[in-house]
Structure 1
Amino acid sequence: MSTASTPLALRAATPADVSAIRELIEGLAEYEQLRHECIATDALLHEALFGARPHAEVVLAEWNGEVAGFALFFHNFSTFLARPGIYLEDLFVRPSFRGHGIGRALLTHLAQLAVSRSCGRLEWSVLDWNVDAIGFYEKLGARAQDAWTVYRVTGDALTHLASGDA
């Protein structure tokens, strides 16, 4: 997505972009006050995104050729719709590039991918305190799924559950 009238370009990430993706993830972790939980390395990201079995995809946003933001997503599946969906794991625009429509362009791009891939939905989660993001998403037509609560098992709890002793 690039036109003569805008310095914005969107493109699929390549293995050469791994360090830039990690830096964007670290920026997001700082913004979300979760930097202490961010242990992503270039090696882990390379394997997860470009290894033998890629688990996610990344779209990079460039502003005048400089990496300005990203969307990291993967396919999920709706049994009720019997169709795949796209789950947006992370969307982040560097603070110095905000206000140029980059976040909207990334979401529009993902919606176009979802439609072209015959997906039944595009969804994501947002932190309750991030009122700016919530307002932005609602202006785009997104609606909160308040009837659902996200559960997560990680670390020792995951290992314990996997052992069958839980």
Structure 2
Amino acid sequence: MSQFLIKPARKEDCPIILDLIRGLAKYEKLEDQCVATVELLEKSLFSEKPDCYSVIAWELDELGDEIPVGFALYFFNYSTFLSRRGLYLEDLFVVPQFRGKGYGKRIMQFLAKTAVEKGCGRFEWSVLDWNQPAINFYQKIGAVVMPDWRICRMTGESLKSFAK
């Protein structure tokens, strides 16, 4: 296995994160919904009270240069039933040509360790129902795909209209 690192994102990494987000959007066939910008990422990740956090996975080439191969973006939520915070993985993406090397698993382990260190009662995420490779991966690492839960969402005009 090549040398591999996972590091918390820095402000100067936002263009790399944006490229990885665009790669994820392309993979999920949701490019038309991706309106993220470097400026929005900087505000979300590096304000005084960040909305979310990110880590970047790096492979070291033979010269020791860091090549970004994946990322995860997460935030903390709260479980009323557990009366504890949880870590919610919003997105995980490994660049296609770097898949199959165990990098996704190592990112997930990094986040699981973060959840434990932060006293979280849960580590949760969503997966698209058509993404069988991801579902298989998550089940292989011990996750339970919750069959009885559905995500509900309001965005754009429906959110604004309902808020009135």
Aligned to 1:51: 47
Shift of 1:6: 4.6
Aligned to 2:63: none
Q: TM-score, normalised by structure 1?
A: 0.94
Distance 2:35 2:56 in 1: 21
5+ residue gaps, structure 2, are 61-65
Shift of 1:134: 0.3
Task: In structure 1, give the amino acid aligned to 2:85.
Answer: P
Distance 1:93 1:122 in 2: 19
Distance 1:118 1:141 in 2: 20
Shift of 1:161: 1.3
Aligned to 1:31: 27
Aligned to 1:133: 134
Question: What's the CA shift string for 1:88-107, capped at 9, x where partnerless?
Answer: 00000001111111100000
Equivalent position to 1:42, from 31, 35, 38 = 38
5+ residue gaps, structure 1, are none
Task: In structure 2, give the amino acid aligned to 1:73.
Answer: Y
Runs of 4+ in 1 over 2 A off after TM superposition: none
Task: In structure 2, give the amino acid aligned to 1:138.
Answer: Q
Shift of 1:57: 0.4
Aligned to 1:106: 107
Aligned to 2:3: 7
Question: What's the CA shift string for 1:23-46, capped at 9, x where partnerless?
Answer: 000000000000000000001111
Query: What value does the CA root-mean-square deviation take over the aligned residues?
Result: 0.9
Distance 1:143 1:67 in 2: 29
Tell me the secondary structure at the aligned position of residue 134 of structure 1: helix
Aligned residues: 159
Q: TM-score, normalised by structure 2?
A: 0.95
% identical aligned pairs: 47
Aligned to 1:123: 124
Distance 1:140 1:74 in 2: 21
Distance 2:9 2:41 in 1: 12
Distance 2:117 2:44 in 1: 24
Greater mean alpha carbon deviation, residues 68-77 or residues 46-55 = 46-55
Distance 1:149 1:130 in 2: 16
Task: In structure 1, give the amino acid aligned to 2:132.
Answer: V
Aligned to 1:72: 73
Distance 2:149 2:67 in 1: 38
Task: In structure 2, give the amino acid aligned to 1:146.
Answer: P
Aligned to 1:63: 59
Aligned to 2:153: 152
